[in-house]
Chains A and B, each alone.
Chain A
């Protein structure tokens, strides 16, 4: 329990709880819209924002937000234009974003390797009170938007053509969702790291989808999974001295494997005992 006496760990736990609420809300829609790779792309491209921040001597969080929002809109355009092979444009943007970020970083004076490392791998224990406040605001926005737009998003996610004929502004909704994901990635990235942010967003929802057949319950189960994964990962990383973001991602993967095996075993059991 000693870890709770440290201010940085208290903030880390607060941030973890907030991320655990945000992640399944965004993650579920990302998975169902087959945009899991988009989260990865945005997290790589967000490094350009970090590099621009250092280069222009601006707050990197601010420049990242701008860059990620612009790219989120571009991604929606590419998704529509290259519907049948949209992963190609994602792959180009992902590697292009990382390459551009590294080139821009080389123009920044002084040693920036530490800084870029921090954004690549993240550091939840160095989180500032301001970052916790921004996360809290993002959490409130995500939850409110989920409750307000749950029904339109359900139909949009089920089938875009059906949503369009039902009179929903499909394009606008998609862009707004992408921008929200972009903002979430920009805010979570310094904490979880560019390389792991998409895993933290996607995995709780992916696990919850295997455990619940009700749409709303998936989000709730995802939040519970998120809390278990984030808090246990953080605790393990504290005692084992391992990187927090990586440990959390590994805990989520372990949970995914365990629930998959458990579900398969339950299925076999039901089949064996003829339970419908």
Chain B
């Protein structure tokens, strides 16, 4: 089942094309990494997929339902997460709990099951002991880890991650990749992740999509070079 479907997508900022002829899918249970040089419009592509930007031509769509025919939940981590709202008056625990709201809790109290998800998510990034700290008082790497904890608490069907390991040490990165791999392989989560770290992550990802500059274009315009490896269609 396709969680993400991108077909012949092109995008331009005013007159300048930045993405052309992008075609790919991300299935349930598939871990796909997206790479490209700096300025290769990787984040722009993610924002097109999420509906934050509108493609100039073609389309990008996200399945409205998951494999169980329930409303599909998306967990998104934007780029440079460490820089946003530094003064936000919230504890780590409150922020990670907010990841549960989209699980039908916008207008309901969080229950014991939510507490379990939140505790597990904070433990998975080693931040449970820091739960009462103010978000603004954390280091860049810690902020990155709690934003990961926040989406793990959501337990989304689809992860869309924009360079989520920025500021993390090798050990934390490896743990994170293993956690993602576990989520895709055993829980059927779809994962699309922008990264510069493709050598380290190769052994975990099912597919690697590389954005390359179009040689025939006068613009810094990027298209796809997909190195497709055998994917595991579990779902």
Contact = CB atoms under 8 A, between A and B. Distances in A.
Interface of A: 28, 32, 148, 151-152, 154-155, 157-159, 161-162, 164-167, 208-209, 212-215, 218
A248 to B, nearest CB: 23
Interface in B127-164: 132-134, 137, 160
Nearest to A209: B89
Contacts of A218: 89
B74 interface: yes
Contact of A151 (B74, B85, B106, B133): B106
B15 to A, nearest CB: 18
A168 to B, nearest CB: 8
A164 B50 CA distance: 9
A152 B91 contact: no
A214 B94 contact: yes
B90 A214 contact: yes
Nearest to A164: B52
Contacts of B76: 161-162, 165
Interface majority SS (helix, strand, loop, mixed), chain B:
loop
Given A213-B132, A213-B133, 14 more contacts: A154-B101, A155-B98, A157-B85, A158-B90, A158-B95, A159-B78, A159-B85, A162-B78, A164-B51, A165-B50, A165-B160, A213-B90, A213-B91, A214-B90
5 smallest beta-carbon distances between A and B, as pairs:
A213-B134, A165-B76, A166-B102, A218-B89, A215-B90
B132 to A, nearest CB: 8
Contacts of A215: 89-90, 94
B13 to A, nearest CB: 13
10 contacts: A32-B88, A32-B89, A152-B101, A158-B88, A158-B90, A158-B98, A161-B50, A167-B74, A213-B90, A213-B132
B84 A159 contact: yes
Given A159-B78, A165-B74, A213-B89, A154 B51 contact: no
Interface in B24-61: 47, 50-52
A213 B78 CA distance: 24
Contact of A209 (B47, B50, B87, B91): B87
B127 to A, nearest CB: 15
A166 B52 CA distance: 12
Nearest to B136: A213
Contacts of B105: 151
Which residue, of A151, A154, A164, A208, has the highest number of chain B Cβ atoms within 10 A? A151
A97 B192 CA distance: 47
Contacts of A152: 101, 106
B73 to A, nearest CB: 8
B107 interface: yes
B102 A167 contact: yes
Contacts of A161: 47, 50, 52, 76, 78
A165 B91 CA distance: 22
Which residue, of A32, A159, A166, has the highest number of chain B Cβ atoms within 10 A? A166
A214 B91 CA distance: 6
A19 to B, nearest CB: 21
Contacts of A32: 85, 87-89
A166 B101 contact: yes
Contacts of B89: 28, 32, 208-209, 212-215, 218
B52 A154 contact: no
Contacts of B87: 32, 209
B136 to A, nearest CB: 8
Contacts of A214: 89-91, 94
Contacts of A28: 89
A220 to B, nearest CB: 12
Contacts of B134: 213
Contacts of B94: 154, 214-215
A258 B105 CA distance: 39
A32 B136 CA distance: 13
A167 B89 CA distance: 23
B217 to A, nearest CB: 26
B156 to A, nearest CB: 9
Interface in B98-112: 98, 101-102, 105-107
Contacts of B106: 151-152
B129 to A, nearest CB: 12
Nearest to B103: A166
B41 to A, nearest CB: 17
